[in-house]
Amino acid sequence: MQVSRFIRLALTCMAWLPLVAIADTSAPGSGFTDPAGVARRPAPADIDPVMRPAAVDTLATLRNRGVLRVGVVPVEPMVMLGNDGALMGYSVDIARKLAVDLGVKVEFIQSSWPNVISDLLERRFDLIASGLWITAPRALVVNFTSPTAVEGVYLIAGKKKAARLNTQADFNRPGVTIAIYAGAAQEALAQRAFPKATLIQVQDDPLNQVLGGFSHAALVPSLTPQVVVNAAPDKLKLALASPVGTTSAAIAVRKGDPDFLSFLNTWLALQAEQGWLQERKDHWFAMSNWIK
Q: Which CATH number belongs to the domain containing residue 256 in this structure?
A: 3.40.190.10
Backbone dihedral angles phi then psi of residue 269, each to the nearest 5 degrees: -65, -40
Per-residue pLDDT tens digits for 213-258: 999 999 988 877 888 898 899 999 999 999 999 889 999 999 999 9
Cα-trace Rg, the chain = 29
Shared-domain flag, residues 252 and 135: yes
Shared-domain flag, residues 140 and 259: yes
Residue 254 belongs to domain spanning: 58-150+247-289
Identify whether 212 is part of a domain: yes
CA dihedral 174, 180, 182, 187 (to 10 degrees): -70
Shared-domain flag, residues 62 and 188: no
209 and 200 Cβ atoms separated by less than 8 Å: yes
* Distance, CA of 149 to CA of 204 (rounded, Å): 22
Identify whether 272 is part of a domain: yes
Burial 126-138 (b: 16+ CB within 10 A, else e): bbbbbbbbbeeeb
Shared-domain flag, residues 262 and 282: yes
225 and 238 Cβ atoms separated by less than 8 Å: yes
Shared-domain flag, residues 238 and 104: no
Total domains, the chain? 2
Per-residue pLDDT tens digits for 18-46: 444 444 455 555 556 667 777 777 778 88
Shared-domain flag, residues 240 and 263: no
| Burial (Cβ within 10 Å: 0-12, 13-18, ≥19) of residue 262 | exposed
Per-residue pLDDT tens digits for 61-98: 999 999 999 999 998 889 998 888 899 999 999 999 99
Identify whether 12 is part of a domain: no
Identify whether 40 is part of a domain: no
Q: What is the DSSP string of 129-141?
A: EEEEEP-HHHHTT
Shared-domain flag, residues 137 and 221: no
Shared-domain flag, residues 160 and 233: yes
Identify whether 28 is part of a domain: no
Q: Average pLDDT for residues 252-272, to the nearest whole number?
A: 97
| The predicted structure's pLDDT at residue 257 | 95
* Distance, CA of 184 to CA of 201 (rounded, Å): 9
Shared-domain flag, residues 95 and 68: yes
